[in-house]
Amino acid sequence: MHVLVTGAAGMIGQKLVRRIVGEPHIFGQAVSRLTVHDIVRPQAPETTGFAVETIAGDLADAADASKTIAGRPDLVFHLAAVVSGEAEADFEKGYAANFDGTRNLLEAIRTAGDEYQPRFVFSSSIAVFGAPFPRQIPDDFFCTPLTSYGTQKAAGELLLSDYTRRGILDGIGIRLPTICVRPGAPNKAASGFFSNIIREPLAGKEAVLPVDASVRHWFASPRSAVGFLVHGATLDTERVGPRRNLTMPGVSATVAEQIEALRAVGGDEAVALIRRERDPQIERMVDGWARDFAPERALSLGFTSDRSFEEIVRVHVDDELGGEIGPPT
């Protein structure tokens, strides 16, 4: 099996590649070739039992998309995107990366040959939904995104469904919750503070909380995100039917509940490192974000997630901190 991962230099992309390398039979047959692609050349895994090709390029260029798909991968994970805050700040960049890049990749598959029909796993987002919301958002709630990022992801979902309907590929869209706790340095995602207020205090650093503690949102750990993608790649899509885009399970938690989970894992000293500094612009953005879901379709199809926000924090400690809390000694 030949697997392609776009956005492979990103956090989720790197974790997915490590999972593939560590479990080369994870898709039910042996991985024989892996292609990793990003705007910057992804780092190739050090040890694999199969061939690995690294590609640096921009999928907003149709020629680059054709080059990326030239090896006719059997399984495509399309993770390449710019994040929410960056897509909102730079209108042209957001549409080039998140819409044009997706369309070009789909078109490259369409023109690669009549007998070519890969499984295509698209990384979408709960940003496709916009307020006003019911208490819990059901699977049949309509998509009315209120950000450019959400609009770009919603457009990608429609393309995925149509290219699947036409028999060009076998697609499934994975609407990710906000991924928390994200490792590494803060990024340009508008939701980044949800991770910052956990990650930084656990490392002995101060973090700024720009919203009220009553704010509620929908979360999953990076470990769960990779699990969603892998399950989407192996799922019998006959069970999914024509509605190919699925809202993933997650944990609905308030910022106050996040902080209490941090206290349970890191103690009062960690919580004391959170500095409250309200930001009206961020508060206005957050006010239009989804708070809770009833993802019955995904659950019925076997997708699973973290059970509590405390579990999400402990996943971060295990996966990123080696089980150790606090700054290096």
* pLDDT tens figures, 214-262: 999 999 999 999 999 999 999 999 999 999 999 999 999 999 999 999 9
pLDDT tens readout for residues 202-217: 999 999 999 999 999 9
Evaluated on CA atoms 257, 322, 250, 91, the torsion sign reads positive
Structure tokens at 322: 């080696």
- CB-CB contact of 184 with 11 (8 Å): yes
150-165: pLDDT as tens digits? 999 999 999 999 999 9
For the stretch 279-284, contacts whose Cβ atoms lie closer than 8 Å and that sit 24 or more positions apart, written own/partner, are: 279/210, 279/211, 282/190, 282/193, 282/210, 282/211, 283/210, 283/211, 283/212
d(CA 188, CA 173): 23
Give the integer Cα–Cα distance in Å for 104 and 100: 6
Question: What are the φ and ψ backbone dihedral angles of 5, each rounded to 5 degrees?
Answer: -125, 115
Q: Which two tokens stand for residue 171?
A: 């697609």
Q: Do you find a cis peptide bond into 181, omega within 30 degrees of 0?
A: yes
Q: Which two tokens stand for residue 282?
A: 């961020």
**What's the fold here for domain 2-177+221-247?**
Rossmann fold (3.40.50)
pTM: 0.95
Select which of 95, 116, 149, 163 is catalytic: 149
User: Quick check: is 116 catalytic?
Assistant: no
pLDDT at residue 84, rounded to an integer: 87
